[in-house]
Structure 1
Amino acid sequence: MDLDVFVAAHRAEWERLDQLLRRRRHLTGAETDELVTLYQRTATHLSQVQASAPDPALTSRLTTLVARARSAVVGARKSTWRDAAHFFTAGFPAACYRTRYWWVPTGIVFTLLVAVIGWWIAGNPEVQGAIAAPEEVREMTREGGAYETYYTESPAAAFSAQVWTNNAQVAAISLAFGALLGIPVVWVLLMNAVNVGVGVGLMAAAGRLDVFMGLILPHGLLELTAVFVAAGVGLRLGWTVIDPGRRTRRAALAQEGRAAIGMAIGLAAVLFVSGLIEGFVTPSGLPTWGRITIGIVAEAAFLVYVFVVGRRAYLAGETGDIVEADRAAEAPVAA
């Protein structure tokens, strides 16, 4: 694109749009129609400039002009409680369902990796010795040891808040840094798999794997599923950088990024529930089967939420992105 020729060809339209915006309260019907037409054209011009000749000064000028015109044409829209309700009943579950082909395999690979690491550690005393001294291992795995007191050494409310904060940070890292080709996401998953695998291996070697599973499953099912969803979305975002599909890379990243931000909010709510379970149910005096049952019920509820409610919303056209009226106009892209 020859930028000087492009500006010369369309400057009059932009100046006319600016003129109409300055006196929009006194426009005739014909002038109002003209304003709408010029807004649509200018939005397309902005998209063309961003895609072909991203001049900062011109992009800034047209962005401001399009934003003013959008406000004049569609008016300002305020978020309401109805928007929040729609997000949690349609947008968020649909986004989780839409990304299922990323986070379900992620969860399967993670689980297999934990099993392999745990089996390797449990069957190799020399590996256990490399992790910690024998006295330290016995202290961690004995009855009333570190793996058990971890859940009871702090007040339930404070511990629940701490757990929620930590897990939300893990999910946020996966979502925020997914655009870096997903590499940080893989690293976070690997570190978490190693941590869980070490616990499985050491407790299995001590003959107390049932105790460990009774401690981790009540909250871990829902907690890890939320982490898998965040990781899957982060990996999808990283893949979008490589292959944006039929969208421009800018438009694809914008769409997936907006959906990822929304999912961060939804996953924070999911992790809040798992934090409550970890803070109040895991260290409780309930029998092991009772605590695990609560964890299974919470996990089943989330899966129904995604694969029933989310599937229905997805088939109805929901993607987890913001409503179309709030999105920037985009120029058509040839297939």
Structure 2
Amino acid sequence: MKQERFVQRHQAEWLALERWLDARGQARAARRQRHGWDGIADHEMPARYRRLCQQLALARRRGYSPVLTARLQRIMQRGHGVLYRTPAPRWQRIAEFLLAGFPRLVRAERGCMAAAAVLFWLPLIAVYVAIQFRPEFASAMFDPEQLAQFESMYDPERLADPERKLGRDSGSDLMMFGYYIWNNISIGFRSFASGLLAGVGTVVVLLFNGLMIGGIAGHLQAVGHGEPFWRFVAGHSAPELIGIVIAGGAGLRLGLNLVAPGRRRRIDALIDGGRRGARLSLGVLAMLLFAAFVEAFWSSIGWMPGWVKYSVGGGLWMLTLAWLWRGGRGWVGGDDDGATPA
């Protein structure tokens, strides 16, 4: 094949490769062109690069002009630099996932997340309101010993002692930190893993936890112990409750892929749902660890004024929601399992 015909046949490919390299070669340029990009898709680039290497080998073997081979060599070297550059350090990849990849995954599963939020918050709010009008409902949900324990933990008279801890009768901060880690992570794991029961298990776990939390909060508010309770939960409620909802959304995705795999084989759909759910669970794990730390070392402080606790709690709610809503928009990085910048 003559050089002119060779160039005419492949010129469009080379121009597209050069355009992709210009857009993806530097992070700043990649962020600017992330939205509205109509060039080569990132996942197509490895195959395009291999094709370019074949074309360069053909050009050399056929003795085409040095100008042409030098151009192909230059494109090949630039492509190699982008595709095979040294991966970011592990700590950087973890930070990028938590700051950008995880929020993008959450937004990509907005339907499952919305369903999980309804399943959790609707019974929580409903039972809380119901107990304010009919306090006896709490006795139907909990036995008398449990109600007495709840009341003792948040009794305003006992908490007049500045040395007493909110939310617990005994235990050091460090010991309770370990307990809260176990408790939070066990709830998050059940919310996700029970999705294997066709999603029904996740629905039950979310409903149950919503009812229990709403029942405890409603009873304490009804008997006049609400102020210490709200001071205790204000700080850690955002990462803990939102983390449980996200774990539930991951479980619903797992169950949905099992029940309705679409055109994929059921096992392939289940593997995809499990992989995405596992990545979501990593982010939930970080949220629940942070919630346990706040619960053990900050929420339990009894002498702190209520306005300080509520201010910190409100700030954490805003930061958590802003992180999930805005995190990763315009971000260019590693694979985030198909999440889209929504």
Relative to the length of structure 1, the TM-score reads 0.64
* 1:304 to partner: Cα distance: 2.0
Identity of matched residues, %: 26
Pairs within 5 Å for 1:255-334: 255-284=272-301, 285-313=303-331, 320-321=336-337
Instruction: Indicate how the Cα distance of structure 1 residues 144 and 107 shifts in structure 2: closer, same or farther if over 3 A, else same.
Output: farther
Contact 1:110–1:189, Cα closer than 8 Å, also in 2: yes
Instruction: Indicate how the Cα distance of structure 1 residues 136 and 98 shifts in structure 2: closer, same or farther if over 3 A, else same.
Output: closer
The answer to whether structure 1 residue 115 and structure 2 residue 133 are counterparts is: no
Give 2:156's aligned residue: 143
Give 2:114's aligned residue: 104
My pick for the range that moved more, 157-166 or 302-311, is 302-311
Q: What's the secondary structure of 2:224's corresponding residue? A: coil
Pairs within 5 Å for 1:199-278: 199-278=216-295
Contact 1:94–1:318, Cα closer than 8 Å, also in 2: no
Q: What's the secondary structure of 2:236's corresponding residue? A: helix
Give 1:93's aligned residue: 103
* 1:195 to partner: Cα distance: 1.6
Contact 1:89–1:309, Cα closer than 8 Å, also in 2: yes
* 1:302 to partner: Cα distance: 2.2
Instruction: Indicate how the Cα distance of structure 1 residues 249 and 132 shifts in structure 2: closer, same or farther if over 3 A, else same.
Output: closer
Gaps of 5+ in 1: 1-32, 34-73, 324-335
Q: Distance in 2 between matches of 1:287 and 1:223?
A: 22
Q: What's the secondary structure of 1:166's corresponding residue? A: helix
Instruction: Indicate how the Cα distance of structure 1 residues 153 and 181 shifts in structure 2: closer, same or farther if over 3 A, else same.
Output: same
Instruction: Indicate how the Cα distance of structure 1 residues 138 and 266 shifts in structure 2: closer, same or farther if over 3 A, else same.
Output: closer
Aligned residue pairs, count: 247
Instruction: Indicate how the Cα distance of structure 1 residues 266 and 126 shifts in structure 2: closer, same or farther if over 3 A, else same.
Output: closer
Pairs within 5 Å for 1:31-180: 80-81=89-90, 82-130=92-140, 131-133=142-144, 137=147, 140-141=150-151, 142-143=155-156, 149-151=166-168, 153-180=170-197
Q: Distance in 2 between matches of 1:320 and 1:283?
A: 37
Query: What letter is aligned with 1:296?
Result: G
My pick for the range that moved more, 105-114 or 79-88, is 79-88
Contact 1:223–1:271, Cα closer than 8 Å, also in 2: yes
Query: Which one has a bigger Cα radius of gyration?
Result: 2
Give 1:65's aligned residue: none
* 1:98 to partner: Cα distance: 1.1
Gaps of 5+ in 2: 1-53, 55-82, 160-164
Q: Distance in 2 between matches of 1:79 and 1:255?
A: 25
Instruction: Indicate how the Cα distance of structure 1 residues 144 and 225 shifts in structure 2: closer, same or farther if over 3 A, else same.
Output: farther
